[in-house]
Structure 1
Amino acid sequence: MGESEKLVSNLFQMARENAPSIIFIDEIDSLCGQRGEGNESEASRRIKTELLVQMQGVGNNDQKVLVLAATNTPYALDQAIRRRFDKRIYIPLPDLKARQHMFKVHLGDTPNNLTESDFEMLARKTDGFSGSDIAVCVKDVLFEPVRKTQDAMYFVKSSGGMWIPCGPKQSGAIQTTMQDLAAEGLASKILPPPITRTDFDKVLARQRPTVSKGDLEVHERFTKEFGEEG
């Protein structure tokens, strides 16, 4: 009892001692929902009260402490907490250019043969996707070369001595499997193929965006009432 609000107080004290500093609270609605709700516990009320008290002093006397918070349910926030934040900025879903960049960032240096036009096409096909949706998509795609290697019935040996999965008609193709190569002590010599545009098409065919039109309408309505555009 009393430990949670003490942690809140300690957090702000640390921020002041290390100023300039930023306190970021993700999913702030889980801490600061509407007061008086039936499922609100006494501990939750005390945390909320302590947060309000600490935020009251932020920004005064040039303390150089900035408090940022994020939520997907802005209407669930307690009004007093909402008033403590001078700016309430709506961050919309990523646009086409942002999505194109996200695909590149998440792929990183993973071997692939995608062209700039491929990335543009992926961005166009993922209208309505959030950054999280794109991350999930790429994460799924990263497994495709492994799946191809596991299922391959033919491999070709490269000039560098690596075994690469291929089709039966490819020049130099040898009928074997990953398990057979591993049994011969060649597991470290197996090289999965690079990621292709087809791999992305396969994953996107079964993936849907997680943010609904109704969700977006709620955020846009809140922005008109209380916020500003990002």
Structure 2
Amino acid sequence: MADRILNEVVVDKPSVTWADVVGLDGAKRALQEIVILPTLRPELFTGLRAPAKGVLLFGPPGTGKTMLAKAVAYESKATFFSISASTLTSKFVGEGEKMVRCLFQIARQLQPAVIFIDEIDSILTERRESEHEASRRLKTEFLLQFDGLGTNADDRLLVLAATNRPQELDEAALRRLVKRIYIPLPEIETRGALFEALLRDHRHALSRADLGKLLRATEGYSGSDITALAREASLGPIRELGAKLMSTKAEDIRPIQLKDFIAALRTIRPSVSPASIAQFEEWNRSMGTHGS
């Protein structure tokens, strides 16, 4: 079981840095305090300054939650574990709880460590009487290992979780995820920086006025939506060539223009509805960590 965790769960540091994450300054600042600085200067973060043991990144899909986790893995000197529901579940009775216990034991031996759980709502949903006993035991074991009687306050172990459905999480899990950071849709400045980053390595003929029109037209788009939009627009000059594509040199293909983005806007629509955004903002006001 330990070999399986070390082979499948411990990940090499991804090549994603803070600079690669456009915007999200509040979230980056919070994670810097909770993860990066305590690993670099552990003697300063003791007692009341001890970092939080659990962090929840929540918000609409495609806003950069997993990207932030990759940046944390790269910037920190901690051992990084990445788990999902498939890692912990098993067809054998009791195997899931043993896997959870083994995971936390190895993480404590290799501390400082970060356990990242993407889509945590698939594991720690609210407990109900009607759910399967194996699922209930798995959740209970996870909560006990996270912050139970056998845990040590001096452990340098962080559970970093991400979800698009924070309202479905168990209350006991939310209590342990002390820092709950809202990752919103990108604002106009962030969208501008994202477009510049995406177009940096491509020839384009977008003026400042064109970019301003594009930013206003992409209100309500997530980061992944904007990436999909830019990919679609980049194909415009190639599609225009038609049968001439095979005989045209790469340097003779025209640059990307505003009309390509206008055509792409008809195809790529926002993936998050205003009603969903309202729910996230309401949950953030009642349960989120304010000021982050």
Deviations 1:98-124 (Å, cap 9, x if unpaired)? 111112223341222223443333222
Aligned with 1:29 (options 109, 116, 121): 121
Aligned with 2:198 (options 92, 106, 112): 106
Structure with the higher helix share, 1 or 2: 2
Q: How many residues align?
A: 197
Structure number, greater radius of gyration? 1
Q: Which residue of 2 aligns with 1:61?
A: 153
Aligned with 1:87 (options 163, 179, 186): 179
TM-score of the pair, normalised by structure 1:
0.74
Q: Which amino acid aligns with 1:217?
A: A
* Structure with more relative contact order (C-alpha pairs < 8 Å, separation 6 or more): 2
1:73 matched to 2:165? The reply is yes
In the alignment, structure 1 segments of 5+ residues that lack a partner are 153-176, 182-186
Q: 1:217 to 1:190 in 2, by over 3 A?
A: closer
Q: Which residue of 2 aligns with 1:173?
A: none
How far apart are 1:42 and its partner, in Å?
A: 3.4
Q: 1:61 to 1:137 in 2, by over 3 A?
A: same
Partners in 2 of 1:21 and 1:148 — Cα distance? 51
Partners in 1 of 2:135 and 2:270 — Cα distance? 33
Q: 1:12 to 1:123 in 2, by over 3 A?
A: farther
SS in 1 for 2:159: strand
Aligned with 1:178 (options 242, 245, 258): 245
How far apart are 1:37 and its partner, in Å?
A: 6.3
1:224 matched to 2:291? The reply is no
In the alignment, structure 2 segments of 5+ residues that lack a partner are 1-91
Q: Which amino acid aligns with 2:164?
A: N
TM-score of the pair, normalised by structure 2:
0.60
Aligned with 1:204 (options 259, 262, 265): 265
How far apart are 1:77 and its partner, in Å?
A: 0.7
Aligned with 1:128 (options 220, 223, 227): 220
CA RMSD of aligned residues (A): 2.5
How far apart are 1:15 and its partner, in Å?
A: 2.7
- On the 8 A contact 2:192/2:211 being kept in 1, the answer is yes
Aligned with 1:45 (options 136, 141, 145): 136
Partners in 2 of 1:80 and 1:96 — Cα distance? 36
Partners in 2 of 1:124 and 1:203 — Cα distance? 15
How far apart are 1:85 and its partner, in Å?
A: 0.8
Partners in 2 of 1:61 and 1:196 — Cα distance? 57
- On the 8 A contact 2:143/2:172 being kept in 1, the answer is yes
Q: Which amino acid aligns with 1:120?
A: G
Deviations 1:34-72 (Å, cap 9, x if unpaired)? 11164x333322321221112115984322222121212
Partners in 2 of 1:59 and 1:108 — Cα distance? 48
Partners in 2 of 1:31 and 1:67 — Cα distance? 13
Deviations 1:171-211 (Å, cap 9, x if unpaired)? xxxxxx335x3xxxxx7x45533222211111113332121
Q: Which amino acid aligns with 1:109?
A: D
How far apart are 1:28 and its partner, in Å?
A: 0.8
Q: 1:178 to 1:129 in 2, by over 3 A?
A: closer
Q: Which amino acid aligns with 1:105?
A: A
Partners in 2 of 1:199 and 1:217 — Cα distance? 31
Partners in 1 of 2:256 and 2:275 — Cα distance? 35
Q: 1:99 to 1:64 in 2, by over 3 A?
A: same
